[in-house]
Structure 1
Amino acid sequence: MREFGYERAFDVPGAVALLGAAPEARFLGGGTNLIDLMKAGVERPALLIDVRELPLDGVEFTHDGGLRIGATVTNSDLAAHPEVRRHYPALAQAVLAGASGQLRNMATVGGNLLQRTRCGYFTDLSKPCNKRAPGSGCPALTGEHHNHAILGASEHCVATHPSDMAVALAAFDAVISYETADGPGELPIAEFYRPVGDTPHIETSLPPGALITGVTLPPAPVAAHSRYRKVRERASYAFAIGSIAAALDVQDGVVRDVRLAFGAVASRPWRARAAERVLIGGPASAEAYAAAADAELEAAEALPENGYKVTLTRNLVVAVLTELTEEAIR
């Protein structure tokens, strides 16, 4: 591991200034991903800037009835917050589905958004990887890829994004706030994560030197009737092989509103807008849910060993929306 310096920031301008003075620095929240990558040699920062003492650890209502979540709120506190559980239950469920209790106690909202892929080629310095070493190639295309992307990938990278939390945030149109030396800014989550294209090493649209300060969830009545479902290869602590965040409003057998986002199928949380368009105004039935899933998955490009994700994701859509429908009519 490369030797590194350590500084603790106590206010947002001070944290941003420290990063501006040391471009090879990294912000340190819980460190649950960054420290692992440093041990592996993937990340080699010259300085760690500890941001855990910044006054960004609150969850509060916005003036229009949404929720503002500070960047240093821990995953455990986010999942346990009564307003999150009441108004955005899929978000609380997604957070609880991720990692272990000990890791959730340390991990922060801002850090969760920025965690890197768990693709084995990315973390193995003896192998090429366009995400780690641009232009070196993507061995996953012909190698081990059973848990890689089926949507939105390219010949340059087929890795998936590991976050559960970000899938729920994508379903609810979250907005990420940040601070730079030039002042504050915002990015809708739909623009926050960049498509893979030919630059998989550029993962977000954050400007250089930016510090994430919080996440805002706009008011969404449909979100109160939502669920997160995660499929993994073992029952405990494991990354998803497929997941879904779904919210549904059904009245008189008709879908009035719906939100869908998929996890573990792309390099970013995948908002299923094609499926949503098919569903809104149509019947609340298993057949309609399957047709909507098919419309979204029409663009899937599976590799030889991950085609099962197409069927898995289709089944998740039907199962979760059916469950939400049955609950709505009880």
Structure 2
Amino acid sequence: MSATFLGVEQLDAGRLGVLGARVDELVHGAAASRCLEGRRVALLFLEPSTRTALSFEAAIDRLGGRTVRIDPESSSLVKDESLRDTLRVLAAQGTSGVVVRAPWVGTADVVARFFDGIVVNAGDGVGQHPTQALQDVCVLARTRGGRADAFGALEGCRVAIVGDLRHSRVARSVGRLLASVGAEVVGVAPREWSLDPKALGAVGVTDGIDDVLDEVDVFYMLRIQHERVGANERVDLSGYRARFQLSGHRLERARPDAVVLHPGPVNRGVELDDIVLSSPRMLDGLQYAYGVPTRVAVLEALAEEAGWGL
């Protein structure tokens, strides 16, 4: 039986509450189930990844499973084998799940259509990155409400998502999930990298961080996605820093309890300076700590949905 996590729209209030509660238990030392005992899960990563790939690998290991990493450069995909045929090979070899990352929007949906088992979207082009969104919303719930499932504490929380919105799958997932729990999201981006507010779940988009500096509770900072920026687009880093970098001086002018998140990797000295990166208001350490528990919780829920038992 199949079970998928492809986008944040799958997280209704009930499912979000269950996952958040389980993340909180795991963060506080609860043991993971062994629901993947004797099962193989493929990491089909067609784009580079460090944090996401490592956290899924660790989560699969904690759940008793075995990870099969598929490197596109050394697999038959480089010989123009179709994704569908790769999935047929995985199924024939007894693979139970696929965690997929790809540069094309909708790839995870294709995998779910042709693979009978667990499928998780670990990032599809500029589409979505739902486990990153779940992780970071749990971090904010913990920060504001004391628990990873205290989503009511995010009601009315003002969040600025700052940077390259147009090329960011994380922005689309985080913004919509935050909006679904009652947060007020605003986008901040250069006009050429802006996005329809509806795609972010945002109330609006502005083109300078100073416009929202003293109005928001959370700065969710994004890197410039150089790998997705068009060859004809000129990136003026000096101008970008002047209008969009959250520096130590700017953070001093923000609300005293405002916090900072970043999905990584950070372009140090571009969207954030060293002062902010070393500030106790920077929550990247919590984000890293929540990475594995979030993926464990997601995989447990999908295993139960697939009828594998816990």
- With normalisation by structure 1, the TM-score equals 0.25
Which one has the bigger helix percentage?
Answer: 2
More relative contact order in 1 or in 2 (CA 8 Å, sep 6+)?
2
